[in-house]
Amino acid sequence: MLWRDLKAWQIYGANTDVGKTIISTVLCKALARRAPTNGLLYLKPVSTGPDGEADDRHISRHASGVLSKCLKQYSKPLSPHLAAKIDEPNHQLNSRVGKLNAADRSLLQNVKDNLDAHQKDGGKYALLETAGGVLSPGPSGSVQADLYRPLRLPVVLVGDAKLGGIATTISAFESLHLRGYDVQSILLFDLPQWGNAEYLRDYFSHHEIATVCLPPPPEREADQQKDYDQLAAYYEKLSSSSEVGSTVDLIHQKHFSHLSKLTSMPAHAESIIWHPFRQYGLPQNVVAIDSAYEDHFEVYNQEMDALVKKAESSDTGLQPLQSMASSGPLLTPLFDASASWWTQGLGHGNPNLSLTAAHAAGRYGHVMFANAVHEPALDLCYNILSTLRNPRLSRVFFTDNGSTGMEVAVKMALRATAKRYGWDDHNGEIGIIGLKGSYHGDTIGVMNCSEPSPFNEKVDWYKPWGYWFSPPEVKLVKGQWRIQLPADDSMPREEGPTTLFPSLQAVFDFDARQEDAQFYADYIARTLTHLTHQQKRKFGALILEPLIMGAGGMIFVDPLFQRTLISSIRADPGIINHDHQARGAASGTADPVSWSGLPIIADEVFTGLYRLGRPSSSSFWNTSAGSGPEADISPDISCHAKLLTGGLLPLALTTASDSIFNTFISDSKADALLHGHSYTAHPIGCSVANKSLDVMRTISASAIHSNPNGGSIQPTTSPKPSSGLWDGYRQSWSSDPDSDVFSFFSPKTLSTISNHQLVNSCFAIGTVLALTLESATSGYNSTAAASLQARLLTTVDEQGRGVHSRILGDVIYFMTGLETSEPEVRNLERTILRALDGELAAQR
Amino acid sequence: MLWRDLKAWQIYGANTDVGKTIISTVLCKALARRAPTNGLLYLKPVSTGPDGEADDRHISRHASGVLSKCLKQYSKPLSPHLAAKIDEPNHQLNSRVGKLNAADRSLLQNVKDNLDAHQKDGGKYALLETAGGVLSPGPSGSVQADLYRPLRLPVVLVGDAKLGGIATTISAFESLHLRGYDVQSILLFDLPQWGNAEYLRDYFSHHEIATVCLPPPPEREADQQKDYDQLAAYYEKLSSSSEVGSTVDLIHQKHFSHLSKLTSMPAHAESIIWHPFRQYGLPQNVVAIDSAYEDHFEVYNQEMDALVKKAESSDTGLQPLQSMASSGPLLTPLFDASASWWTQGLGHGNPNLSLTAAHAAGRYGHVMFANAVHEPALDLCYNILSTLRNPRLSRVFFTDNGSTGMEVAVKMALRATAKRYGWDDHNGEIGIIGLKGSYHGDTIGVMNCSEPSPFNEKVDWYKPWGYWFSPPEVKLVKGQWRIQLPADDSMPREEGPTTLFPSLQAVFDFDARQEDAQFYADYIARTLTHLTHQQKRKFGALILEPLIMGAGGMIFVDPLFQRTLISSIRADPGIINHDHQARGAASGTADPVSWSGLPIIADEVFTGLYRLGRPSSSSFWNTSAGSGPEADISPDISCHAKLLTGGLLPLALTTASDSIFNTFISDSKADALLHGHSYTAHPIGCSVANKSLDVMRTISASAIHSNPNGGSIQPTTSPKPSSGLWDGYRQSWSSDPDSDVFSFFSPKTLSTISNHQLVNSCFAIGTVLALTLESATSGYNSTAAASLQARLLTTVDEQGRGVHSRILGDVIYFMTGLETSEPEVRNLERTILRALDGELAAQR
């Protein structure tokens, strides 16, 4: 909601009865002086009380030449959520705090449409007046500051001049501020006996917000005409006063400085930021993100803007007004289809997460974690283990991101192996076992856990330490699910025999796939024995990204292959160790959940915590869905980040089993795991993670037949009612309401996509959809998907919203949040299909 | 403010005139039933208006057997900040939003003393009633929720039942919540016409807070006795009602669950957390941090508690009452003397940082940064460069912590060197040049930048890649500043000739130390030429921690040595490269700020951003204090974290010069710097960093003679008035008010410490004080300082506050925040001296 020409503000009140309408009238009159007739729209979205007393009428009466409009008038002078119930007996209240419901969205759309229409008509100003205080409920019961947050209009806050008004005004400001609003100016009446104006002016100067004091309106008169005249005189005088004039100047200036900052951001960024993963020698369109809400960015796209400006400046023969109108909104909503690099779960600008973060900041700030403990960190340990339900895991180590979390995992595993097998050298002889296409982060230690690739080939200290299997991939090709089995390790992965599946679920039916399992087991044993016995190579860990290797190109690995790899290594430690004595040590423990053969590390940074529909993606290695991982195939170490904080800020956890933990116990400090970042277990991150895990547990639960919230570890919160938000998704994939092999994207759309001429193969699981496009070249250096990606930015839906996606060579992928609604997902699917068709048409 | 026996709550009101005193009276009466006579203290810290109408009188009248007390009564019924001005003409208002002044602290101390005395008298309950709304000003003008925050008593919030009260109640809750308060219950009158009670009950159930509705009090009567009787009957009935009874039960239960959670935290932590740097085979006392404020933790120390309980349970012959009293408060305030692992700058629980964090969360959440830009990140780029004022730096790369920031720095430097010198292999042949004792983080890549040490010897993939000079150290020994020059690299560092200095400032007088400089230059050239020409070793970067190597043991390196190392490598690239052709390339650029010889990396993660008193600690390599680094000795890359966010949450920046940046430009994606964590440049971190840098700039500026806020890079904010907070510290070290070689710790105390029998040497600069203790063994494995560290926990000042410090082998260090006041620092100094004397006495 930002235009070059139309300037819109929202008027909030610090409390009810603080003079919001009077001050709005003053502003309307002052702005109307600067606008042509009907150039100013006064909009009251919701009004309660008798029609004749409505605020929009007051404006009409006192500010001529102003378009005045009320969108919804309820008859009783009550809070709108009560007034609506009286006028509309079937009125439903919103039951979710901080989340909008359908009625909220429809009201918002109405406001947007009115503002858009006003802009198209050449409107210069709009004032949107709210009802009651900042957090007074709207008709649905959603508090107004939440309700109007998607618009994020700059705010003029009307302060409270009465006794107690210092407190209510500052609190109202804080409630707006923590919801991401920009409060541009505070206006209040000057009642010197309470001293509020003087106090607030000083207070808000610390927040660089101007506070303006106005003389209060005259006392009401019994005589109607006299009352009107007196008020009219007050308005006339005040609206032409210097205080009001300079306020109007100020909010104008803030409009232009916002515009100028926004539109210059890409160019400034170009000169001072060193962007991640960016080749500055290649042209790149940098988008400026003004704000974000739920699944959408609000983006200024300089390329689109340049096109518009070019059209304007050329001799088009358009009238000035039409030309202005053609410039349209400066901000485009774009669906954040990479979930902001795979982090988002609970939506951008989520007020519950903001408040949770602020509480932890207020209670602790950051407090050091060495030999110390605080409630959010301790709660998070129980919370993550009860979420994962992996019987092996018992200890939690904190770091800051997936990469550092995996560095810790690797340090843990290598030490455990080296100690048990009596290897203790620094010659870099101990490698890891992984899959080709894996990726574990950008720090050099974990880069060394991946095979050579364009990601690491120019990192001077990169040294690949390990062996990587070619993974058999799961793909949907022309409506058919298929897996190519590995033929031999020396052959390219395309050449193995192909197995076909009637459904995605069938891939996970391991009982029916015993032949494939045997095939894999033989292949794995042959390969590993050759490496360890013939080549005498040493390995310290098996590292797997459960199901999907993300950065490596969204490779969906056959879960049966990963499962067999783990069980092969666990069952016969000899296949990874040729030394008989060490082999004895490897199996020499009676503890059934002690690591065996090699420590198994699950890198769940991308795939874990509901990204693929389950709390833990290692659980996909299970034979039975819906429960936690089985002890015999669950990892000894698992690493979590990204979605852990719901998508708000960095935090990572590396969880490990007792048998790993015990490796580091001795009487020497030097044997300890000497790792720890200074913000380790920072209370904000831990608090937000606890909140997020609780919310994710609720939203993922089926309302039809709840999953058991079991596990032996004590839950930190009482069980919540399940939301049933995912029931529709589950139903579209399976008749089993508890099915945990499903996607937000529909199987029908997926089949259509797989049959599209431009698509080589695709898959969808959980919140992820990935398309491998037909392309002459493949891999990270391919640019095949770039054209579709660019098209999606401008392939808008009925609400003018495009799609911001990320590509990996010839792969383009899409990801939703965990609360993305079914209509939103279906809408995204339609946009993707339209963009694919558009690409095809353009190629012809 | 937490005891086993005494339960204290604070009553806040959602607005003025919501019935706070009436509900307090009801609670008093209900609690008094459960307590012995005088077992309940009602405390009104500040009251305004005629004495006879005061709230404490009302309580006395209606709740017998309750101790009722008002600490400060102002005569006029106004906001306390106005009433105080009338009664006390010299009354000064607090000018700093969110920071307490002396009057605030004195009021708080009075409250604490009263609560302590009540507890010692066997008191069972205390209710503290505030005045007006949550954010109404106290007498100094500080808002009450800030003023009483250090107590962090659990809150009973009295809701607003009037029209508009939904908004004011939720906003009041949010203002409390973001300051770290625990709101345990909300009580309000039931005025069904507005529906507030019903709405709020549902709303707060989402925050798991019970909302209780009470019948409103009777209408006032003209007849005084009748009015009293009627109100008394109301109180009698209500205080024995089931609603109030269950509310009292609930807040009791929350008290006990807080106690039980707090006291069980250490044991739970023991079983589930894997603490950083901890050897679980050695006994360790884990402290539970309940909250933190400014420089202090509020800590439950299980060992101290065990001692108390032991004393209680033993047959001491004490009366029950005395025994109870002896148990004292459960929480001990401990000065956070490691600044929470070197991160803290602006104090724990800083409301301005909380609000800043919340705003960014509300506006963006996290938004992806690849090919995108947002305002907080862009502002931070300008902000950091204008803070550092290093003419070489022009580009900013974002990561999550110091370790990842240094990984990026190393990747940048190695690539630049390898490309210019035509080295392009992965044999690990390119090392770095550094100093012995350096440390750059815990990820394996940067661990490889340090010489072998106990930190890395058990990291299996650790491989030292470089050469490390023995650094000449600056020490104060028996009141004398001294530096031992290196004799020869093969000799231990203790054996070089010693230079003495009359003052710390004299160490930085490089013009007067030209002989030392020449000595260093010869030594460096000899050593490097031998390595590169005889041994044919290759180097890719010089990495230095300016002035102090922190994790390596608080080693204060002669800045002249670091300066000479840089200028030697820059002036004659031949000393680091034996290849003539490459040497030509090295000096073949006309750009005066292009890197020469080797890229120079400053790891300012610990020492930068005001930790040592200057914005950048590389600036200590300058000949003239007070300005930014000179181009000829400033680093090409510098890395910043920790204090960057004022001590709130993780964020790191790696800044680089154009000549480094340009290395990565080509037409191939694979040549780009392919590094980027998913929360790269997260908006919360960037926003908090911007706020912190602005505040730090203001507080560090001298009020006597302001430093120029210069530099060619555009400042992002208008210049602020300087606070003069550091003027006293500067004056104690130098007569020059602009001197930038000084410490928060006084030179007098430092001299006393250096002459202490237990101290081998010490130093202080900026906020850091480090003591090397006399010890039989030295280094990381030494436990010499552990005894002093333990003693400091229980060496309390007059306010019962101990010191939480960290040790590194035989070194114990202390660190303040950037806003720590002079009285606090002097108090800390006294405690340290007392603890040293205590140790000495114990050893005799």
With an 8 Å Cβ cutoff, are A672 and B648 in contact? no
Q: Closest-CA residue in chain B for A650?
A: B679
Q: pLDDT per residue over A231-261, tens digit each?
A: 999 999 999 999 999 999 999 999 999 999 9
Chain A residues inside the 8 Å CB shell of B807: none
- What is the token pair recorded at A91? 């009125």
The fold of the B374-459+516-704 domain, in CATH, is Aspartate Aminotransferase; domain 2 (3.40.640)
Amino acid at A232: A
Q: Would the pLDDT of B505 be above 50?
A: yes
Q: Closest-CA residue in chain A for B642?
A: A678
Measured between CB atoms, which of A349, A411, A465 is closest to B459?
A411
Concatenating the DSSP letter of every residue in A711-731 gives -SSPPSSPPPPP--TTHHHHH
pLDDT at residue number B591 = 77
With an 8 Å Cβ cutoff, are B672 and A279 in contact? yes
Chain A residues inside the 8 Å CB shell of B140: none
Chain A residues inside the 8 Å CB shell of B197: none
Q: Would the pLDDT of A782 be above 80?
A: no
- What distance in Å separates residue B447's CA from the closest CA in chain A? 10
pLDDT at residue number A64 = 87
For A743, other C-beta atoms within 10 Å of its C-beta total 24
With an 8 Å Cβ cutoff, are A444 and B445 in contact? yes
Q: What single-letter DSSP state applies at residue B276?
A: T
Which of B273, B302, B657, B819 to substitute to test the interface with A, most A CBs within 10 Å? B273
Q: Closest-CA residue in chain A for B367?
A: A340
Residue B121 sits at φ, ψ, to 5 deg, of: -80, 5
Q: Would the pLDDT of A495 be above 70?
A: no
With an 8 Å Cβ cutoff, are A349 and B365 in contact? yes
Dist CA B328 CA B264 (whole Å): 18
- What distance in Å separates residue B496's CA from the closest CA in chain A? 30
Measured between CB atoms, which of A177, A650, A670 is closest to B457?
A670
- What is the token pair recorded at A348? 């951008």
Beta strand segments in B217-311, E: 287-293, 296-301
Query: Nearest CA to A12 among A156, A138, A112, A126?
Result: A156
pLDDT at residue number A710 = 40
Reported as a pLDDT band with limits 50, 70 and 90, residue A54 is confident
Residue A763 sits at φ, ψ, to 5 deg, of: -160, 160
With an 8 Å Cβ cutoff, are A358 and B363 in contact? no
pLDDT at residue number B325 = 38
Concatenating the DSSP letter of every residue in B587-646 gives H----TTS-BSB-EEEE-TTTTTTTTSSS-GGGGGSSSTTS---TTTS-SEEEE-GGGGT
Q: Helix H segments across A461-545?
A: 504-507, 514-529
Chain B residues inside the 8 Å CB shell of A207: 97
With an 8 Å Cβ cutoff, are B373 and A266 in contact? yes
Greater confidence (B754 vs A427) lies with B754
Measured between CB atoms, which of A274, A446, A647 is closest to B395?
A274
With an 8 Å Cβ cutoff, are B349 and A361 in contact? yes
Chain B residues inside the 8 Å CB shell of A181: 362-363
Measured between CB atoms, which of A170, A368, A442 is closest to B677?
A442
Q: Would the pLDDT of A208 be above 50?
A: yes
- What distance in Å separates residue B253's CA from the closest CA in chain A? 16
Q: Would the pLDDT of B55 be above 90?
A: no
- The Cβ-side half-sphere exposure at A360, using a 13 Å CA radius, reads 25
With an 8 Å Cβ cutoff, are A177 and B378 in contact? no
- What is the token pair recorded at B752? 């006393």
Mean pLDDT of chain B: 89
Which of B183, B262, B425, B442 to substitute to test the interface with A, most A CBs within 10 Å? B442
Query: Nearest CA to A18 among A196, A228, A207?
Result: A196
Q: pLDDT per residue over A79-114, tens digit each?
A: 999 999 999 988 889 988 889 999 999 999 999 999
Q: pLDDT per residue over A105-147, tens digit each?
A: 999 999 999 999 999 999 999 999 999 999 999 999 999 999 9
% chain B with pLDDT above 70: 89
With an 8 Å Cβ cutoff, are A355 and B454 in contact? no
Q: Taking residues A502-530, what's their average pLDDT?
A: 93
With an 8 Å Cβ cutoff, are B342 and A179 in contact? no
% chain A with pLDDT above 90: 75
Q: pLDDT per residue over B343-371, tens digit each?
A: 999 999 999 999 999 999 999 999 999 99
Contact call for residues A73 and A45 (beta carbons, < 8 A): no
Q: pLDDT per residue over A331-344, tens digit each?
A: 999 999 999 999 99
pLDDT at residue number B659 = 95
Q: Would the pLDDT of A349 be above 80?
A: yes
Q: Taking residues A625-646, what's their average pLDDT?
A: 84
CATH number assigned to the domain with residue range A743-843, chosen from the 4 options 3.30.230.10, 3.40.50.1970, 3.40.630.10, 3.90.1150.10: 3.90.1150.10
> Which CATH architecture fits B7-261?
3-Layer(aba) Sandwich (3.40)
pLDDT at residue number B782 = 60
Q: pLDDT per residue over A383-420, tens digit each?
A: 999 999 999 999 999 999 999 999 999 999 999 999 99
pLDDT at residue number B486 = 75
Q: Which residues fall within 8 angstroms of residue B106, CB to CB, at 6 or more apart?
A: none
With an 8 Å Cβ cutoff, are A284 and B371 in contact? yes
With an 8 Å Cβ cutoff, are B359 and A403 in contact? no
Q: Would the pLDDT of A720 be above 60?
A: no
Which of A93, A336, A373 to substitute to test the interface with B, most B CBs within 10 Å? A373
Q: Would the pLDDT of B525 be above 60?
A: yes
With an 8 Å Cβ cutoff, are A672 and B15 in contact? no
Q: Would the pLDDT of B800 be above 70?
A: yes
Q: Would the pLDDT of B57 be above 90?
A: no
pLDDT at residue number B317 = 42
Burial annotation A145-154 (CB, 10 A radius, 16+ → b, else e): bbbbbbbbbb
% chain A with pLDDT above 70: 89
Measured between CB atoms, which of A17, A365, A465 is closest to B349?
A365
Q: Closest-CA residue in chain B for A782?
A: B669
Reported as a pLDDT band with limits 50, 70 and 90, residue B780 is low
pLDDT at residue number A307 = 59
Q: Would the pLDDT of B310 be above 60?
A: no
Q: pLDDT per residue over B172-213, tens digit each?
A: 999 999 999 999 999 999 998 899 999 999 999 999 999 999
For B89, other C-beta atoms within 10 Å of its C-beta total 6
Reported as a pLDDT band with limits 50, 70 and 90, residue A718 is very low
pLDDT at residue number A603 = 98
Least confident of B41-45, B214-218, B737-741: B737-741
For A328, other C-beta atoms within 10 Å of its C-beta total 18
pLDDT at residue number B717 = 45
Q: Would the pLDDT of A325 be above 60?
A: no
Would you call B328 exposed, middle or buried from its count of C-beta atoms within 10 A (0-12, 13-18, 19+)?
middle
Contact call for residues A675 and B277 (beta carbons, < 8 A): yes
Which of A605, A649, A718, A805 to substitute to test the interface with B, most B CBs within 10 Å? A649
Q: Taking residues B774-795, what's their average pLDDT?
A: 78
Concatenating the DSSP letter of every residue in B702-720 gives -SSSPPP---SSPPSSPPP
In chain A, where the domains are located: 7-261, 431-590, 743-843
Mean pLDDT of chain A: 89
Chain B residues inside the 8 Å CB shell of A1: none
Least confident of A13-22, A640-649, B419-428: B419-428
Greater confidence (B207 vs A626) lies with B207
Which of A82, A86, A151, A168 to substitute to test the interface with B, most B CBs within 10 Å? A168
Dist CA A607 CA A559 (whole Å): 13
Reported as a pLDDT band with limits 50, 70 and 90, residue B714 is very low
Q: How far is CA B215 from the centre of its chain?
A: 46
- What is the token pair recorded at B655? 């800044």
Q: Which residues fall within 8 angstroms of residue A611, CB to CB, at 6 or more apart?
A: A342, A617, A642, A643, A766, A767, A768, A815
Q: Closest-CA residue in chain A for B408?
A: A443
- What distance in Å separates residue B342's CA from the closest CA in chain A? 7
Dist CA B765 CA B816 (whole Å): 11
With an 8 Å Cβ cutoff, are B428 and A203 in contact? no
With an 8 Å Cβ cutoff, are B664 and A279 in contact? yes
Least confident of A379-388, A549-558, A629-638, B135-144: A629-638
Q: Taking residues B51-67, what's their average pLDDT?
A: 85
With an 8 Å Cβ cutoff, are B649 and A682 in contact? yes
Judge if pTM exceeds 0.90: yes
- What distance in Å separates residue B131's CA from the closest CA in chain A? 10
Q: Would the pLDDT of B582 be above 70?
A: no
Reported as a pLDDT band with limits 50, 70 and 90, residue B309 is low
Query: Nearest CA to A147 among A91, A108, A106, A92?
Result: A108
Q: Taking residues B259-275, what's their average pLDDT?
A: 95
